[in-house]
Amino acid sequence: MIFWPGREEKGMNKNIILCGVGGQGTILASRLIAAAAMNSGIPILTAETIGMAQRGGSVFSHLRLGEGVHSPLTARGEADLIIGFEPGETVRQLPFLKPDGAVVVNTSPVMPVSAMIGKAPYDAGEMLSYLKEHVRHLTCVDGEMAAKELGSSRVLNVVLLGAAQQSGALGFTSEEMEQALKEKVPARFLALNQAAFAFGKKTKNS
Amino acid sequence: MHKEFLMGNEAIALGALAAGVNLAAGYPGTPSTEVLETIAKRNPGNVYVEWSVNEKAAMEVAAGAAYTGARALVTMKQVGLNVASDPLMSLEYIGVKGGMVVLVSDDPGPISSQTEQDTRTFGMFSKVPVFDPCSVQEAYEMIQEAFEFSEKYGTPVFFRPTTRIDHGYEALEVKDPEEYHVHTYEGFVKDASRWVIFPRLSVKNHALIEKRNALLSDTFSDYPGNRILAEQEKGCRKGIASHGISFMYTLDSLRGRNARVLKVATPFPFPEKLALSFLQGLDEVLCIEELDPVIERALLHICGKYGLQVKILGKLTGDIPPSGENTMEIVNKALGAFLGQAEEKLTPAARELPEPPALPVRPPVLCAGCPHRASFYAVKQAMKGKKTIYCGDIGCYTLGNAQPLDMCDTCLCMGAGIGIAQGVGHMEPDTRCFAFVGDSTFFASGITGTVNAFYNQADMTLVVLDNSTTAMTGHQPHPGTGRTAMGQVVEKVSMEKVLKAIGLKVVETVDPLDLNAAVKTVKRVAEEPGVKAVIFRSPCIAISRPSGHSEVDQEKCIGCGKCIRELGCPALNLASDGKKTRIDTALCTGCTLCEQICPAGAISGGKKNDLLAGKGGEGHE
C-alpha cells in the first residue's frame, strides 16, 4: 500500500488536470507535482501538450497518480482536481471533473487575438459565473493582483499550486511542495517562486 | 540502475544509449524531436550526433554508419519518413551490418502534422519490421531489443511511438552510463556484390526478405512484447486486440469485465501463430487501433487463411472511428457496446453540465514580437491592390495564415511552396507569386525548388524568413546557424551565397522590423523579372533578449484600433475603457512594429534590434 498524504481513507488514485494557454507555465507546474509524487514514492503518469499549440493555443497536462493506472490520459468525469490558469480554458476542461471534484482557477483572462480583432467574442465574467454555478469546491486566485504584488507574471503556475495546496485538493503537504520547488526551480528564481507559493497559500476557498 | 522521471522521448534516447548506439542523426519534427536532443545532451562522449539537413540525409548518414557495423539511430516524424523513403526503400533490399533503428513518431489527431499516415502500414509497404511500444517503460526496453533484432536479421527496423508515448512521462529505472553496452564494430568491408544495388541483386534479396519476414512472424509470436492476457473466467467468447497507447486505454477501461486481450507490439511481420491461439474459441474480436486498421486486416487475413468463423470488428465495421486520436471516451464507449457496461461503481460518474458560454477561440498564433509578423505585414503593405498568391510552408510562419495577417494561401509540405508558386505562375502570368520559406526549411528542401525555378524561367519572389533557428520544434541549429548538434562552432552556410550561386541576380537582405525599409525592398524586388529573393533576417524572440517593451501614451492614443486590428499581436489588448490600446508588458518584446504603424505616434519605448547578424525556422513542425 502506498501512503497518500492526507487521503488514506479516500483511496489511492488521483487525477489532476492543468490547463491554460501556451506559454503560461503549465509544464513546470506538472513537473513540480510529479517531483512531489516521486519523492513520496507515488507512481505517476503524465501527458503534456507540446508542439504547435504551445504558440498561444489551448494547452493541458493530465497527471495520474497512484497504483493500477495504465494510461496517462484521464477520462471525462474522472478528474479530482483541475488547476485552471485561465477562466475560459477551465470551463473547456470542466467535463473532466468528478461531480465532487475541486477547481482552482486564475480569474484573470488571457484574451485571444480572435476576440481582440472582433472575430469571436470572449466574456471571462460569464466563464467565472458558470464555474461558480457548477463547481462545488472552487478556489479563485486573482492572477493579476498576484503578478503586481510579486512583481512578475511568470510565477502564476506556482501561485496556483500554492492555492491548490492550501485547498487540500492537491494531496501534498506544504513541505513536500517546497521540497519539489527546491529540486526543480533554478537557484536564481527560487526565492521568487517561494514567495509565489506563499502568496498562493493565502488564498481563501470560496 | 537509477530512477528518473522521464519523457517518453528521453527514455527512448537513454534506451538507445544503453544499447551502445554509435551514431544518431535526425531532422526535428514533433513529436520526435526530443529523442535526438536527449542523445546529444546525455552523450557519454563516444556517440556521434547530428541534426542533418533533412530526413533523407539523416537516413543515408545512418545507413553508412550501419554499413561499417556500427549501431545507428535515425529520428524523424511521420511526414519526415516521406522525405527519407527513397533511401529506406532501397536500403531494405541491401540490408545493414550494424543494428539500425529508424525511429518514426506517428501523430494521431493529427496534433502537429499534415497527415495521419501510419508507419505500421509503411512497414508492410517497405517490408521493414515494425516495433510499436505501448508505454514509456516499454519504449525504453523495446528500443534496446530493436537494435538486437536489426543486427541479428541484417535489416533496418522501424520503432514507431505515437505522441502519447513520445510526450508522456513516467518514472522508471534506467541504466547508469557505466552499464551501457559498448558496441565495437569491424568497419566497412568492400564487397560490390553486397553493397551495390543492381536488379539482379534486388530480385535475389527480395526473395530472402520474404523468407526472413515469414521467419520473423514466427519469432515474433514468442516475443514478450506480443502477448495474450487470458480471460478471468472460462467460457469467454469475446476478445479485444490492441496496440500502443490504445492498449493502455483498454486496460484502464476494462474495469473487471471478462475478455481475452491480444497486445500486438510487432504489427509487421504480424505474429500469426500467437494470433491464431488468441482467436481459438472466440466468436467476436474488437480491434482497438489508432490510424490504420492494421491489426484488424491482419486478423481478417488469418481468419480467411485458416477458415475461422470469428467476427472481426473495428474501423472497417464502424465500431472504432476511422480517423483521429483515440481517447478514454472512445474506448469506454466502444467497450461498453461490445462487452456491455461495466458495473456502476466502477464506471466514471457521468457529469451532466449545461452548455457553457461561448468558449474562447484559440488557434495557435505568432508570438508577440515575432519577426515573421513584421515580414508578412511588410509584403502585405507592399503588394496592396495587386493580384498575388502567397505560398506558405511548414514552420512557425504557417501561422501567418491567421487573421488579421491572412498571408498564407497554400501550405502542403516542406519546401512545396516554392514549386507551387512556380506552377501557379506558369498558369496565371498576371499573378505576382510569392513563396515564403523559413531558414531551416530552405536548407532542408528549398534549394532544389529554387534551382528548378531559375532553370525553368519562372517569375516569382522567394521570401526567406530567417529567424536563425528551427523555431517550431524548439530551436535546433541548422546549416545557417554555424552550430552543430554536438555544440561545435562551424562555418555557416550563407543563403545569400547559395542563391547567388544558383544564378539569382537580385538577392536583398533586410530587417523586417524596419518596416519602411522592408516595404520599399519588397516593392523594388518584386518588380524585377524572373526569380528574385528577399531575405528577412531577424532572430526568433525565443533566442534573443527582449530589448525592453513598448508602452501606449493613453493621452495620445486615439483609440482607432489600427494596431490591434492589423497586427494581431497577442501583446496588444484593449484598455479598461474598451477603446484605447494597452500593451501587456509581460509579452511585449519591444519590437516596435506597432510604434511604426500608429497614426497618432502614441506608442514608444521599444528598441529596434538593428543587428542584421543572425544567431541561431521551423522543422517539420
Least confident of A87-91, A109-113, A151-155, B606-610: B606-610
Alpha-carbon distance B606 to B551, whole Å?
8
- Confidence at residue B544, expressed as pLDDT on a 0 to 100 scale: 87
Alpha-carbon distance B370 to B363, whole Å?
16
Angle, to 10 degrees, between the axis of helix B371-382 and the axis of helix B515-526? Answer: 50
Percent of chain B with pLDDT over 70: 96
Residue B394, all three cell numbers: 511548414
Grid cell 458560454 in the structure block, residue: B357
Residue B615 has pLDDT above 50, yes or no: no
A123 CB within 8 Å of a chain B CB: yes
Q: For B24-45, how does the pLDDT look when each residue is reduced to its tens digit (9 = 90+)?
A: 999 999 999 999 999 999 999 9
Interface of A with B in 58-77 (CB under 8 A): 58, 69-77
Residue A31, all three cell numbers: 513537473
- Confidence at residue B618, expressed as pLDDT on a 0 to 100 scale: 46
Chain B: residue nearest A44 by CA?
B170
Alpha-carbon distance B101 to B71, whole Å?
8
DSSP B277-304: HHHTT-SEEEEE-SSS-HHHHHHHHHHH
Residue B349 has pLDDT above 60, yes or no: no
Does some domain include residue B192?
Answer: yes
**What does the pLDDT average to over A99-110?**
95
For residue B328, what is the domain's CATH number?
3.40.50.920
The ipTM of this complex is 0.92
pLDDT band at B351 (very low <50, low <70, confident <90, very high): low
Q: For B375-389, how does the pLDDT look when each residue is reduced to its tens digit (9 = 90+)?
A: 999 999 999 999 999
Q: For B189-214, how does the pLDDT look when each residue is reduced to its tens digit (9 = 90+)?
A: 999 999 999 999 999 999 999 999 99
Coil, helix or strand at residue B92: helix
Provide the phi-psi class of B562: left if phi over 0, else alpha when psi is between -120 and 50, else beta.
alpha
pLDDT band at B350 (very low <50, low <70, confident <90, very high): low
- In DSSP terms, A58 is beta-bridged to A21
Percent of chain B with pLDDT over 90: 90
Does some domain include residue B544?
Answer: no
Q: What are φ and ψ of residue B507, in 5° steps? A: -135, 105
- What residues contact B24, with CB distance under 8 A and at least 6 apart? B16, B36, B39, B47, B48, B49, B50, B62, B72, B73, B74, B75
The answer to whether residues B575 and B430 belong to one domain is no
Does some domain include residue B620?
Answer: no
State the first-to-last Cα distance of chain B, in angstroms, to the nearest integer.
35
For residue B393, what is the domain's CATH number?
3.40.50.970
Alpha helices of B255-402 — where are they, by DSSP H?
A: 272-279, 294-306, 328-339, 371-382
* Per-domain residue ranges of chain A: 14-201
Contact yes or no for B564 and A116 at CB 8 A = yes
User: Within 10 Å of residue B82's Cβ, how many Cβ atoms?
Assistant: 18
Which is more confidently placed, B621 or A77? A77
Give how far Cα B212 sits from Cα of B119, B144, B148, B196, Å.
20, 21, 15, 21
Residue B346 has pLDDT above 60, yes or no: no
Residue B105, all three cell numbers: 513518431
Pairing of strands B2-7, B168-174: antiparallel
Q: Which of A21, A55, A80, A134 to mutate to test the interface with B (most CBs of B within 10 A)?
A: A55
Q: Please, are residues B287 and B299 in contact by the beta-carbon 8 Å criterion?
A: yes
Q: For B478-512, how does the pLDDT look when each residue is reduced to its tens digit (9 = 90+)?
A: 999 999 999 999 999 999 999 999 999 999 999 99
Coil, helix or strand at residue B122: helix
Alpha-carbon distance B76 to B25, whole Å?
9
Does some domain include residue B543?
Answer: no
- Confidence at residue A173, expressed as pLDDT on a 0 to 100 scale: 94
- The residue range of the domain holding B234 is 227-348
Least confident of A137-146, B313-322, B534-543, B572-581: B572-581
A chain contacts of residue B402, beta-carbon cutoff 8 Å: 113
Q: For B103-149, how does the pLDDT look when each residue is reduced to its tens digit (9 = 90+)?
A: 999 999 999 999 999 999 999 999 999 999 999 999 999 999 999 99
Of B53, B59, B61, B26, nearest to B40 (Cα)? B26
- Confidence at residue B536, expressed as pLDDT on a 0 to 100 scale: 98
Residue A9 has pLDDT above 80, yes or no: no
- The minimal CB distance from A123 to the residues B354, B357, B573 is found for B357
B578 CB within 8 Å of a chain A CB: no
Find the largest Cα–Cα distance for chain A: 54
The answer to whether residues B114 and B159 belong to one domain is yes
Interface of B with A in 460-499 (CB under 8 A): 472-473
Residue A114, all three cell numbers: 480572435
Radius of gyration of chain A (CA): 16
Q: What are φ and ψ of residue B550, in 5° steps? A: -85, 155
- Confidence at residue A102, expressed as pLDDT on a 0 to 100 scale: 96
Pairing of strands B551-552, B603-604: antiparallel
Name the domain count of chain B: 4
The answer to whether residues B267 and B295 belong to one domain is yes
Alpha-carbon distance B252 to A71, whole Å?
7
Superfamily of domain covering A14-201: Pyruvate-ferredoxin oxidoreductase, PFOR, domain III (3.40.920.10)
Chain A: residue nearest B394 by CA?
A52
Residue A3 has pLDDT above 50, yes or no: no
- Confidence at residue B608, expressed as pLDDT on a 0 to 100 scale: 62
The answer to whether residues B472 and B531 belong to one domain is yes
pLDDT band at A7 (very low <50, low <70, confident <90, very high): very low
Alpha-carbon distance B448 to B462, whole Å?
13
Q: For B275-299, how does the pLDDT look when each residue is reduced to its tens digit (9 = 90+)?
A: 999 999 999 999 999 999 999 999 9
The answer to whether residues B187 and B250 belong to one domain is no
pLDDT band at B617 (very low <50, low <70, confident <90, very high): very low
**What does the pLDDT average to over B510-533?**
97
Residue type (1 letter), B114: Q
The model carries a pTM of 0.94
Pairing of strands B238-242, B284-288: parallel
- What residues contact B245, with CB distance under 8 A and at least 6 apart? A71, B134, B135, B162, B164, B165, B168, B290, B326
The answer to whether residues B60 and B156 belong to one domain is yes
Residue B121, all three cell numbers: 502500414
pLDDT band at B344 (very low <50, low <70, confident <90, very high): low
pLDDT band at A8 (very low <50, low <70, confident <90, very high): very low
Sign of CA dihedral A41, A46, A51, A55: negative
Angle, to 10 degrees, between the axis of helix B328-339 and the axis of helix B244-254? Answer: 60
Does some domain include residue B507?
Answer: yes
Q: What is the mean pLDDT of chain B?
A: 94
Q: For B536-593, how does the pLDDT look when each residue is reduced to its tens digit (9 = 90+)?
A: 999 999 888 777 899 999 999 999 999 999 999 999 999 888 899 999 988 899 999 9
Does some domain include residue B460?
Answer: yes
Alpha-carbon distance B607 to B174, whole Å?
48
Q: Please, are residues B196 and B95 in contact by the beta-carbon 8 Å criterion?
A: no
A chain contacts of residue B354, beta-carbon cutoff 8 Å: 134
Q: For B1-18, how does the pLDDT look when each residue is reduced to its tens digit (9 = 90+)?
A: 999 999 999 999 999 999
Does some domain include residue B510?
Answer: yes
Q: For B386-444, how does the pLDDT look when each residue is reduced to its tens digit (9 = 90+)?
A: 999 999 999 999 999 999 999 999 999 999 999 999 999 999 999 999 999 999 999 99
Pairing of strands B100-105, B157-159: parallel
Of B385, B366, B377, nearest to B519 (Cα)? B377
- The minimal CB distance from B348 to the residues A57, A77, A147 is found for A77
Q: What is the mean pLDDT of chain A?
A: 90
Instruction: Return the number of CB contacts < 8 Å for A and B.
Output: 178
- What residues contact A175, with CB distance under 8 A and at least 6 apart? none
pLDDT band at A120 (very low <50, low <70, confident <90, very high): confident
Alpha-carbon distance B336 to B96, whole Å?
46
State the first-to-last Cα distance of chain A, in angstroms, to the nearest integer.
34
Residue type (1 letter), B542: A
Q: What are φ and ψ of residue A127, in 5° steps? A: -65, -45
Does some domain include residue B64?
Answer: yes
pLDDT band at B607 (very low <50, low <70, confident <90, very high): confident
Give how far Cα B22 sits from Cα of B14, B48, B69, Å.
13, 6, 10
Interface of B with A in 308-327 (CB under 8 A): 327
